[in-house]
Amino acid sequence: MPRRATIADVAREAGVSRTTVSHALNDKGYVDALTRERVKAVARELGYRPNVRAQRLRTGEARTIALISSMPFEVAGGASRLGFLMEVAAVAASAALVRGLALVLVPPMSTARLPLEQLDIDGAIVIEPTQDDVNVALLQSRGLPIVCIGRAPGDDAVPYIDLHTPATTQLLLAHLLAQGARHIALMIGAQQRNSYIDAHATYLTFCSAHGIDPAVVHVDEAGGEQAAYDACLRLLAQHPELDAICVPVDAFAIGAVRAIGERGLRIPQDMKIVTRYDGVRARSCRPPLTAVDLHLDDVSSLAVDLLFAHLGGKAEQLAVEPPVPQLVVRESSVLNAKTE
Amino acid sequence: MPRRATIADVAREAGVSRTTVSHALNDKGYVDALTRERVKAVARELGYRPNVRAQRLRTGEARTIALISSMPFEVAGGASRLGFLMEVAAVAASAALVRGLALVLVPPMSTARLPLEQLDIDGAIVIEPTQDDVNVALLQSRGLPIVCIGRAPGDDAVPYIDLHTPATTQLLLAHLLAQGARHIALMIGAQQRNSYIDAHATYLTFCSAHGIDPAVVHVDEAGGEQAAYDACLRLLAQHPELDAICVPVDAFAIGAVRAIGERGLRIPQDMKIVTRYDGVRARSCRPPLTAVDLHLDDVSSLAVDLLFAHLGGKAEQLAVEPPVPQLVVRESSVLNAKTE
């Protein structure tokens, strides 16, 4: 890059001191109008721009936070890239800017590891961390404040926004039961993520309360949609009695829908299917998937607020609860459901 | 914020020089293993983190770019927030990280102006700037390199990724004609944006070539979906002969679909409607909207590449052409269209 004009260059060219340049450019008022205009003209001509970074360093202000998805590329990238992360990002970026924070986006990448070391950040929001999450560990080793969306399993010290997974799972299962399903399976990811752990526990309790034989399938996230398709085919072969599947990960639900169609089963008449996040994939699926409104607007703003409090050292709250999730009924579980 | 531990604190506590601390933490190898581990342990204990910002300042490396939407909140925020910008963001953020750049997301905000002054950035990608775009002007006044997605009208000096608007418009209009439409209207935004200017010109040429009486409606972006609804009702009242409308802005198309339904017209039998960006809104609309695949993956990566070249002072190319857009046919223009 060509050398950038410095304040010294402007001072020399305008024939004034550096302090005068600084005052003139910042409209401090200690400089007469004529000089101020001349300094500004010279600065423009030389292409001088104040070094915001250096100013921030001097004042010690926190300026940048990262939004990081811990979901693997295979389920949160590609066709699913306009998903949970980006919906959070859209709201969080605005909420951050209002607070004077820039939000750096770190989407899942098909490379092995996120290049977090190179990021010059003051804190981070991590979406759905796993147990012993490498991204969380790296950020912690740098001493950065972190807020998780979804509790970090096995680490009670990381502040988080509660995703209400037990309530969400209960909503979906009770809905399937109310629609007449009696043999309901659960398909979750293989990693140790809090949403899976909570969904699993809620499912087992629900099955036991309603006399349902549990059938749980763990799918490798790295296999994405295709792995869910394969797993669903095996599940249907092993459990011909099944009449419903709860598939919280939307990319997995899409794979499962394909497998159900492959087996010649009609949705929802022969097989009902529901997912968690009411996003693009749920809506553009044929048939559209019954899902849950997680109030991601609120989740996102609350995450920024909580991180902001921690950045400022005012870290009382550990967990924040957004509004309770609401069911969004679609044709994957109710025939002729009225959808938007 | 509490005072952050400095390299001097670590040096004092570990009983070594600052240089030794720096070498130990950066695994430079000039320090014996035992000392290196002790220094690392002390650094962890004190919560010391290297000041990446200061390091970057010393080396003068470019580190951060902003992605800015010049579309107003009313058409690119709210229900449309998971749109064009975020699809570009998902790909651009990864492409940027691979190049060692952090991407800061600047979504449209409901406040009057984007708070760009506070951003500590080295360059920016601006989506669909208007003529005399305030964001572009502000970035230019700071001497920052800019790349636009969609040409900046009236400013031939700003490098851009061509959105192929004439080709896109031609595709959509030719499709409507092929589907039997003979009275085709065009609904575009009121601002001076290159995509509108090009769509308008292409439309007029197309009408003249096919003996169609032109009917163009300009809708105020600030009115969003509702303004398009109102404008469409007026259009239908004035032009009862219409059998198709081309509505490039997806939020406007959603409003128009509502107005068409309000008038008791069936889509696509009585009225065909098409939009430009094949995003969430087009897909989740009932019926789903015929749209265009703009190859936003390519557009986004090319924008990052072009900005990267400009950041490095290797600024030969002014305009870059992504692959030509492709039609995605849906039920808003073809009865029983096979959709995904």
Residue B3: pLDDT over 70: no
Above 50 in pLDDT, residue B340?
A: no
Averaged over A151-180, what is the pLDDT?
A: 94
Q: Provide the pairing of β-strand B290-293 with B326-328.
A: antiparallel
Task: Put the strands of the sheet holding B290-293 in their side by side order.
Answer: B216-219, B184-189, B244-246, B272-277, B290-293, B326-328
Q: For residue B17, give its domain range.
A: 7-50
Query: Residue B50: what pLDDT?
Result: 66
Calculate mean pLDDT across residues A46-52: 70
B337 within domain boundaries = no
Nearest-Cα distance to chain A for B259, in Å, is 15
What does the pLDDT read at residue A1?
Answer: 42
Residue A340 has pLDDT above 80, yes or no: no
Q: What is the dihedral of CA B236, B237, B242, B247, to 10 degrees?
A: -20
Per-residue confidence (pLDDT) for residue A295, from 0 to 100: 95
Interface of B with A in 36-55 (CB under 8 A): 44, 47-49, 51-54
- The answer, yes or no, to whether ipTM is higher than 0.90 is no
Average pLDDT of chain B is: 88
Number of Cβ within 10 Å of residue A201's Cβ equals 13
Mean pLDDT calculated for residue range B271-298: 94
For residue B287, whether the previous peptide bond is cis, meaning omega lies within 30 degrees of 0, is yes
Ranked by mean pLDDT, which of A144-158, A168-182, B130-144, B299-313 comes out on top? Answer: A168-182
pLDDT at A62 over 80: no
Is B172 found in the same domain as B288?
yes
pLDDT at B28 over 50: yes
Q: pLDDT per residue over A17-47, tens digit each?
A: 888 887 787 766 677 888 888 888 888 888 7
Q: How far is A196 from chain B (nearest CA, A)?
A: 25
Domain membership flag for residue A21? yes
Pairing of strands A160-161, A319-320: parallel
- Whether residues B70 and B152 fall in one domain: yes
Provide DSSP, A129-178.
PBTT-HHHHHHHHTT--EEEES--TT-TTS-EE---HHHHHHHHHHHHHH
Whether residues B113 and B150 share a domain: the answer is yes
Please, what's the largest Cα pairwise distance for chain B?
87
Together in a domain, B123 and B142: yes
Q: Are residues B176 and B72 in the same domain?
A: no
Query: Per the domain annotation, does B335 fall within a domain?
Result: no
Which residue has better confidence, B1 or A95? A95
The length of chain B, given as a count of residues: 340
What are the Cα distances from residue B15, in Å, to A329, B7, B11, B12, B36?
A: 65, 12, 6, 5, 12
Please state at what angle helix A18-25 crosses helix A7-14, rounded to 10 degrees. 100
Mean local confidence (pLDDT), B201-215: 97
Is pLDDT at A13 greater than 80 in this prediction? yes
Residue B19's pLDDT band (boundaries 50, 70, 90)?
Answer: confident
- What is the model's pLDDT at position B57? 47
On the question of pLDDT at B206 being above 90, the answer is: yes
Which of B335, B317, B339 has the alpha carbon at shortest distance from B327?
A: B339
Is residue A119 less than 8 Å (CB to CB) from chain B?
yes
pLDDT (0 to 100) of residue B311: 84
**Domain at A258, CATH number:** 3.40.50.2300
Query: What is the pLDDT averaged over residues B208-225?
Result: 95
Is the confidence at residue A168, as pLDDT, over 60? yes
> What pLDDT score was predicted for residue B51?
60
Pick from A208-212, A213-217, B5-9, B197-201: least confident: B5-9
Q: Are residues B239 and B124 in the same domain?
A: no
Average pLDDT score over residue span B193-217: 96
Q: For residue B104, what is the nearest residue in chain A, using CA coordinates?
A: A104
Assigned domain for B57 exists: no
- Which of A93, A119, A311 has the CB atom closest to B105's CB atom? A93
Residue B102 has pLDDT above 80, yes or no: yes
Q: Which of A50, A93, A97, A62 is nearest to B51 (CA)?
A: A62
Same domain, A182 and A225: yes
Q: Does residue A120 fall inside a structural domain?
A: yes
A54 contacts in B (CB within 8 Å)? 57
Q: Read off the pLDDT of each residue in A266-294 and give the average, rounded to a whole number.
A: 94
pLDDT confidence tier of residue B31, bands split at 50, 70 and 90: confident
- B118·A105 Cβ contact <8 A: no
Question: Is B254 within 8 Å of B332 (Cβ atoms)?
Answer: no
Domain-located, residue A173 = yes
Lowest mean pLDDT segment, chosen from A107-121, A187-201, B246-260: A107-121
Residues B158 and B304 in one domain: yes
Q: How far apart are CA B203 and CA B56, in angstroms?
A: 50
Query: Does B140 share its domain with B201?
Result: no
Q: What is the pLDDT of residue A99?
A: 85
Any domain includes A58: no
pLDDT band at B25 (very low <50, low <70, confident <90, very high): confident
A172 compared with B153, residue with greater pLDDT = A172
Q: How far apart are CA B335 and CA B329, in angstroms?
A: 10
In angstroms, the CA B308 to CA B313 distance is: 9
Q: Do B120 and A87 touch (CB under 8 A)?
A: no
The pLDDT assigned to B261 comes to 97
How much of chain B, in percent, has pLDDT values that exceed 90?
Answer: 56
How far does CA A80 lie from the centroid of its chain? 12
* Of A244, A243, A249, nearest in space to A275 by CA: A249
**Count of domains forming chain A:** 3
Mean of pLDDT values over B23-45: 80
- Average pLDDT of every residue of chain A: 88
pLDDT of residue B1: 41
- Given a cut of 60, whether residue A113 has pLDDT beyond it is yes
Same domain, residue pair B261 and B303: no
Residue A50: what pLDDT?
Answer: 66
- pLDDT value, residue A32: 83
User: Span B7-23, mean pLDDT?
Assistant: 85
Cβ contact, residue pair A1, B60, below 8 Å: yes
pLDDT over 70 percentage in chain B: 91
Residue B213 placed within a domain: yes
Query: Is residue B314 less than 8 Å (CB to CB) from chain A?
Result: no
Q: What integer pLDDT is reported at residue A240 of this predicted model? A: 96
Task: List the single range of A113-122, B140-149, B235-244 with lowest mean pLDDT.
Answer: A113-122
pLDDT at A174: 98
**Are residue A290 and residue A174 in the same domain, yes or no?**
yes
What percent of chain B is helix, strand and coil (3-state, nearest 5)?
45, 15, 40
Give the chain A residue nearest B287 (alpha carbons).
Answer: A340
Q: Residues A214, A232: one domain?
A: yes
